[in-house]
Amino acid sequence: MKNRLKVLRAERDWSQADLAERLAVSRQSINAIETGKYDPSLPLAFKIADLFDMAIEEVFLND
Amino acid sequence: MSDRSDQVGEMPKSKIPPSMRRYFWRMGIFMTAYMVILIWGLSLKNSSNPPEGLFIYGLAILTALPMCGVFWTVFRLLVEMEDEYQRFLVAKQIMLATAITLCAATIWQFLNVYDLMTEGPQWFGVIWLVTFGIADGIVRWRA
């Protein structure tokens, strides 16, 4: 599953650590999601979408 | 919508998450208990008047119990971890350690069946713990 996390993060000038802190997850989690190595659970995906004030399908894209 | 944030584990400000702190404490307690009971038990067994009967059965089981506690500690970590990606890595680590241990057991079993090896590894609990440590490096290197 592709995602726009890196772009959205860059638009806000947030580091991976900043985003990780806002989501209460580890920085490694953010890195794994951004690089497509890990697809987040539905609760975490919703939390990410909520943080960027977007719909979940605007952040995560089906391949 | 606000309830959704509650469904994802809260990461504390401290560098070591509470689940890892509990893991280290439990692991320390069980490993210490294991070493103390093992040394005490073996010294009794090798003494001039070794215990017999039901006592020796109890001693054997008592020595094994802290190791069971170690395995319980590992699986509790899997349940309690706050970060779902870290939990995913630990799950992979457990699977890899179990696979390596079962491979070693199966190979040894067939070496034994073909009478090529009569003596083989017996401390599979300890072997699993060692492979669990090795698997940690492999899983995080590939992560």
Domain ranges of chain B: 1-82, 83-143
Task: Write the pLDDT tens digit of every residue in B91-107.
Answer: 999 999 999 999 999 99
Say whether A38 and B88 touch across the interface (CB within 8 A): yes
pLDDT beyond 50 at B136? yes
| Position B143 confidence tier, pLDDT thresholds 50, 70, 90 | confident
Complex ipTM: 0.89
Which residues in chain A touch residue B10, judged by CB atoms under 8 angstroms apart?
24
Range A21-33 average pLDDT: 94
Helix axes B124-142, B54-80, angle to 10 degrees: 10
The answer as to whether A59 is a domain residue is no
Task: Write the pLDDT tens digit of every residue in B52-68.
Answer: 899 999 999 999 999 99
Do B56 and B110 contact (CB within 8 A), yes or no? no
- Best of B15, B16, B82, B85 to disrupt the A interface (most A CBs within 10 Å) is B85
Q: DSSP letters along B70-103, please?
A: HHHHHHHHHHH-S-HHHHHHHHHHHHHHHHHHHH
pLDDT beyond 90 at B122? no
pTM for this one?
0.82
Shortest distance, CA A25 to any CA of chain B (angstroms) = 6
Indicate which CATH number applies to the domain containing A14: 1.10.260.40
The answer as to whether A31 is a domain residue is yes
Which residues in chain B touch residue A25, judged by CB atoms under 8 angstroms apart?
8, 11, 83-85
Tokens representing B24 are: 């280290």
- Count: domains in chain A: 1
**Is A37 in CB contact (< 8 Å) with chain B?**
yes
The answer as to whether A23 is a domain residue is yes
Shortest distance, CA B11 to any CA of chain A (angstroms) = 5
| Position A42 confidence tier, pLDDT thresholds 50, 70, 90 | very high
Which residues in chain A touch residue B82, judged by CB atoms under 8 angstroms apart?
24
Range B109-135 average pLDDT: 90
Q: Which of B70, B47, B66 is nearest to B56 (CA)?
A: B47
- Structural domain range at position A19: 2-53
The mean pLDDT of chain B is 88
